Amino acid sequence: MFKMGKRFFLFVAVNILILATLSITMRLLGVGNYFSARGIDYNSLMLFCLVWGMGGAFISLALSRVMAKWMMGVVVIDPETREPELGELVRTVHKLARAANLPAMPEVGYYPSPEVNAFATGPTKSRALVAVSAGLLQRMDRVQLEGVLAHEISHIANGDMVTMTLIQGVINAFVMFLARVIAFFIANRGRDEESSAAPSYLIIFLLEMALSVLGMLVVSAFSRRREYRADEGGARLAGRGSMIKALEALQTTVAYADLTHKEALATLKISGKPKGFFALFATHPPLEERIAKLRSAV
């Protein structure tokens, strides 16, 4: 209960800090009053949306390592640790990082969770974190684990965190811009042309929610493409056989979870194969398609 309360408090505190920082930035830039009796000041509105959309995305990226440690309980492993399993984990990550020509060794950590999961995060290639769950360490052998770690190192080498942040920031800006323009015209439908009324925050909020769903389609499509590329990079670093075995192990784990319904396993943020319309929101391609693509690679 204490951990949940602490994580919730930290989450709220970080978001308040982001909002406060962006609000001060708006004040300094002198933007924010984009609605007037004469209509919309599109230049001010676009600047406002870009600062909030891009600024929020990049502040979140800058804090990503800290938030992972705080909210997920990631413990960074001392490279000089005497625990054999953890020492081997660090050595494997560093070996793959050198093979990928990363400018600096990423931090390596683990977190106490039964889920089968691993992720990479960080603002730059020089300040990255690779974290794995206790469940993944327990369920995978050395070859499979190396495939998973190679996949995550490829995400760092490809600059995927920054790329996805840029995409998310642009989507955020467009969502904010379109929501306010549409809300303005809804609020002034049928009104006299000589005077305009600012739309209510409720209308803007509802439109942002609806447009954000459409934005998620774009972000998810880009994410799936980056996953295929990370698989290819993982195959180059650890060997195609290791990468395929890692994905097959994940496939078995997902099948077990779906069959027994005993636990919800977030296998590399995968919870089975999405169907129909929901497949458009999947951030990862189906495992069978990823395995087939690796097997068909020349």
Each residue of 1-53: pLDDT tens digit?
A: 333 344 445 444 555 566 556 656 666 666 567 766 677 878 888 888 888 88
pLDDT tens for each residue of 48-80: 888 888 888 888 888 889 888 888 889 999 999
Distance separating alpha carbons of residues 261 and 254, to the nearest angstrom: 10
Give how far Cα 119 sits from Cα of 13, 153, 161, 246, Å: 24, 9, 11, 14
Distance separating alpha carbons of residues 168 and 67, to the nearest angstrom: 18
- Do the strands 75-76 and 129-133 form a parallel or antiparallel pair, or are they unpaired? unpaired
Least reliable range by pLDDT among 7-16, 126-135, 285-294: 7-16
Q: What is the pTM of this model?
A: 0.83
Q: Please say if the pLDDT value at position 115 is more than 90.
A: no
Q: Select from 277, 283, 275 the least CA-distant residue to 221.
A: 283
Of 115, 152, 208, 232, the active-site residue reads 152
pLDDT bracket for residue 255 (50, 70, 90): low
Residue 87 is part of which domain span?
1-298
What is the DSSP code (8-state) at residue 262? Answer: S
Least reliable range by pLDDT among 21-35, 160-174, 232-246: 21-35
pLDDT bracket for residue 260 (50, 70, 90): very low
Phi, then psi, of 264 in degrees rounded to 5: -95, 105
- Do the strands 75-76 and 107-111 form a parallel or antiparallel pair, or are they unpaired? antiparallel
Domain count, the chain: 1
Q: Please say if the pLDDT value at position 117 is more than 70.
A: yes
Phi, then psi, of 132 in degrees rounded to 5: -130, 155
208 an active-site residue? no
Distance separating alpha carbons of residues 144 and 165, to the nearest angstrom: 29
Distance separating alpha carbons of residues 151 and 1, to the nearest angstrom: 34
Distance separating alpha carbons of residues 235 and 244, to the nearest angstrom: 8
The answer to whether 287 and 225 are in contact (CB under 8 A) is: no
